[in-house]
Amino acid sequence: MTIHMKKDAPLQLSSSTVQQQVAMDPCYCNPLSSLHTDLNREAQQESDMLVLAAPELNSRVRMRLQELLEHIDTLSIILLHVSQVEPPPIVPPSQLPPRRQHYHAPEGLLDQLMVNVHRVVRDDDQVLLQTGSGAALLLPHVDSQGVYRILERIYRSLDLLQAETVIPPLTRETSILLGSASYPEQGRTLEQLLYATGAVTHRLVLRPVLALQQGSATGAVEDDDPIYEHTNKTMQADKMSPSAPFMHLPKALSHHLKRLIPYHMAQELQCAPVGRDQHRLTVAMADPTDGNALRLLAEYTSMTIFPVSCEEEALRALLTKRW
């Protein structure tokens, strides 16, 4: 017997002031299953080990699953969690706080994510939304193989998003986590099913575009990123904020990086690709404030360009090796 269910309507918040307040609320979401309560929650969230859920969403998921499992013998669940973090402060790494605070995402951002998700789900799938934190998809009569295919389609659809295409453009690093599980293959009890759902299957990170203003470097860089370390050293040496982070260049580039920017373009723009993190491409440039070069690179690669300054002699040495 097929059960037809109506999708939950998204929670409506018409006031822009309320939306801004939601965006500033700290994220205190927890694992779906009580089997995870013996783990250190702060360590979980910082390392993105688990897909979390707000308490309200957890309660709704449990109630709906109990109702469904009384009538059907096969069911899958997909959990999505979205959160944002502030960029790391410009201080020596030894003075960094132990973890950066996670915040709820603006309501409008979750709505934009769900547009891509709804392209994949069926009419009789149930979508439970929780403003600012995420969603759960309950998929009746879908086994582990079926949910794997659906999850991959959702991931590819969300992977098309970039920080600058979100409206309004992102100002914080945004993490999107996906997890899934199936009954009865991965959990024969409700608690076992929720426990399996909490494992991260896919992770997406959207980083805001670097603001190219004198004395500003707002691109989100990981705390242990070498670029971050070189930025601090340069600032301490110059006693002023650089227009772009400084990076010591390697003596050679990897093959997968060289494929991203053709040699003739790198030579013409005096740049070299030196790092990639999903949709963000780190490019060493003779002039990292050259807006026209940044635009051309972004258009050609379809990626967010994170420009860094470097020693011109080292850059010329890299460009003498044709690829």
Least confident residue range of 40-49, 222-231, 252-261: 222-231
130-186 tens-digit pLDDT: 988 999 999 999 999 999 999 999 998 888 887 767 888 788 889 999 999 999 999
Domains annotated for the chain, with CATH where assigned, are 16-206 (3.30.70.270), 226-319 (3.30.300.160)
What is the C-alpha separation between 59 and 50, in angstroms, rounded? Answer: 18
269-308 tens-digit pLDDT: 999 999 887 778 889 999 988 888 988 898 888 888 888 8
Check residues 129 and 206 and name the one with the higher pLDDT.
129
Provide the 10 A C-beta neighbour count for residue 203.
Answer: 14
Mean pLDDT for the stretch of residues 246-256 = 85
Output phi, psi for 8, to 5 deg: -65, 135
CA atoms within 13 A on the CB side of 151: 25
Q: DSSP secondary-structure letter at 288?
A: T
**Percent of residues, the chain, with pLDDT higher than 90:** 38
261-280 tens-digit pLDDT: 999 999 999 999 998 877 78
Give the residue from 155, 154, 99 showing the smallest Cα distance to 122: 154
Q: pTM, whole model, 2 decimals?
A: 0.59
Angle at 145 between CA 176 and CA 151, to 5 degrees: 15
Token pair of 246, please? 């400084």
Cα dist. 73→13, 156, 188, 190, 193 in Å?
37, 29, 10, 13, 13
Cα dist. 20→24, 73, 148, 158, 208 in Å?
7, 43, 35, 23, 17
